[in-house]
Chain A
């Protein structure tokens, strides 16, 4: 397992204090596909987001990379050391983390939550949706698009974009929906809009521009007001339910 991983992780600096560790077995980004990486199981993703880099740097998870971002205060320490050594140590740290997940923590319970999200899927004054666009691209009816979405159990792959946002991946075996992003993003998507983009589903946490395909609207928010933490972690399951009037 370990040797196997070694060849697949590469490290490159993308700024003076930010190192990108990239792994080439990441999820497939083809529209509508749901393949999970061999390396990035939900358990590993969760472990990464809960990890601290030994140097105290922040660890941020992307779809096919982990970025390690050193603080401003670490600048002197970074300059004093050989950059390739830091890269090698960081790859080693990441390999150990993957190795532990594959072995030591193999049987640990993920303790995934299941989050039910109630939502409205009809056009309203607040949203104009893209169900017809998706219906055209998938050569099925708008109703069938919604049925597929509601029949899908999603898993939190990783957080990002904005605070309170999670990239939701359809569990393997779910019905497929192809969702090409808009060429020109909408100038304003309302907070709570449920949207599909590439292989992901997501909920816009705040008003702002967005290029994903809007299908519905929820009043739920995903940051706990008591502690400012996101309510979900990688591995948690999400199911959408149509709000009954």
Chain B
């Protein structure tokens, strides 16, 4: 091992489906290979390089005192303190394959100003809503009882709870309204079908921002058109090809 964990994260797990849908592909392009990445939740680890090595971090722009979405080269003995996530609930870590220093696999960095370098924001865009009146710009607070199965929000005002429905397919980003009136956003480990009414869907590009939300954070839900949501997906997909340059 070239990297030791000096202090573990609150939670650090290898994820095939990270909550930030672009994190895995960006970090793999940065390090020039194809591997699972680690999703750290609430706190990150303290790491120490035992030999000269490199790693890459995925996080919202400006949250950490380290560069993100590009390789960080560490000399032997150098430490990286990732305990505080700078207001983000999750960060991602990727390590180069062991053959890197032998084979000199190409490393890349994400250019400054790329739309893939997003800041955490208090706005989550919706690509579909059942009823515009449900989200009239008011702030919803993320509750502590949230994880990768579901993100629970407290409604800003009394919302009439949804009744149960025949189970219908659910996907990551679907917003359900249970009888309590507090909406739940289905997470990547959430149910494949759900028996509560779906009232909206988070735009795919906003799932990155959702991944960064902390319990207690307030967000406003804003409806955008289906076409605008698709355009944003294409913008990020184009950036993945265009903005990762050799370093």
Q: Is the CB of B168 within 8 A of A67?
A: yes
Expressed in whole angstroms, the minimum distance between the Cβ of B222 and any Cβ of chain A is 15
Q: Is the CB of A161 within 8 A of B233?
A: no
Chain A, residue nearest B203 (CB):
A16
Q: Is A60's beta carbon under 8 Å from chain B? A: yes
Q: Is the CB of B166 within 8 A of A67?
A: no
Q: Mark A151-164, 1 if CB is under 8 A from B, else 0.
A: 00000001111110
Chain A, residue nearest B172 (CB):
A15
Q: Is the CB of B231 within 8 A of A208?
A: no
The dominant DSSP class at the B interface is: mixed
Contact of A78 among B21, B174, B192, B230 (CB under 8 A): B230
Binds A, one of B44-52, B73-81, B193-201: B193-201
Q: Mark A55-92, 1 if CB is under 8 A from B, else 0.
A: 00000111111010100100110110001000000000
A83 neighbours in B (Cβ, 8 Å): 226-227
Q: Is the CB of A65 within 8 A of B168?
A: yes
Expressed in whole angstroms, the minimum distance between the Cβ of B143 and any Cβ of chain A is 14
Q: Is B191's beta carbon under 8 Å from chain A? A: yes
B174 neighbours in A (Cβ, 8 Å): 14-15
Expressed in whole angstroms, the minimum distance between the Cβ of B112 and any Cβ of chain A is 25
User: With A and B bound together, what is the CA distance between A118 and B226 in angstroms?
Assistant: 48
Q: A72-B233, A75-B230, A79-B234 are in contact. Are A16 and B127 (CB under 8 A)?
A: yes
Q: Mark A162-201, 1 if CB is under 8 A from B, else 0.
A: 1101010000000000000101000000000000011010
Question: For residues 79 through 129 of chain A, which have their beta carbon under 8 Å from a beta carbon of chain B?
Answer: 79, 83
User: With A and B bound together, what is the CA distance between A16 and B203 in angstroms?
Assistant: 7
Q: Is the CB of A15 within 8 A of B192?
A: no
Besides A63-B168, A69-B171, 12 other A-B contacts (C-beta < 8 A)? A16-B203, A16-B230, A17-B204, A61-B169, A62-B193, A65-B169, A67-B169, A75-B234, A75-B237, A159-B192, A160-B167, A167-B167
Q: Is A222's beta carbon under 8 Å from chain B? A: no
B191 neighbours in A (Cβ, 8 Å): 160-162
Q: Count chain A residues whose beta carbon lies closer than 8 angstroms to a beta carbon of B.
A: 39
Expressed in whole angstroms, the minimum distance between the Cβ of B219 and any Cβ of chain A is 18
Which 3 pairs from chain A and chain B are nearest by CB? Answer: A160-B193, A63-B166, A15-B201
Expressed in whole angstroms, the minimum distance between the Cβ of A181 and any Cβ of chain B is 7
Q: Is A240's beta carbon under 8 Å from chain B? A: no
Contact of B173 among A15, A29, A160, A198 (CB under 8 A): A15
Q: Is the CB of A181 within 8 A of B128?
A: no
Expressed in whole angstroms, the minimum distance between the Cβ of B138 and any Cβ of chain A is 22
B226 neighbours in A (Cβ, 8 Å): 13, 15-16, 83
Q: Would you mind naming 26 contact pairs between A and B with Cβ atoms under 8 Å apart?
A: A14-B128, A15-B174, A15-B201, A15-B229, A16-B127, A16-B226, A16-B229, A17-B230, A18-B171, A18-B201, A29-B166, A61-B169, A62-B168, A62-B193, A67-B168, A69-B171, A72-B21, A72-B233, A75-B233, A78-B230, A79-B230, A161-B191, A162-B191, A167-B167, A197-B195, A208-B149
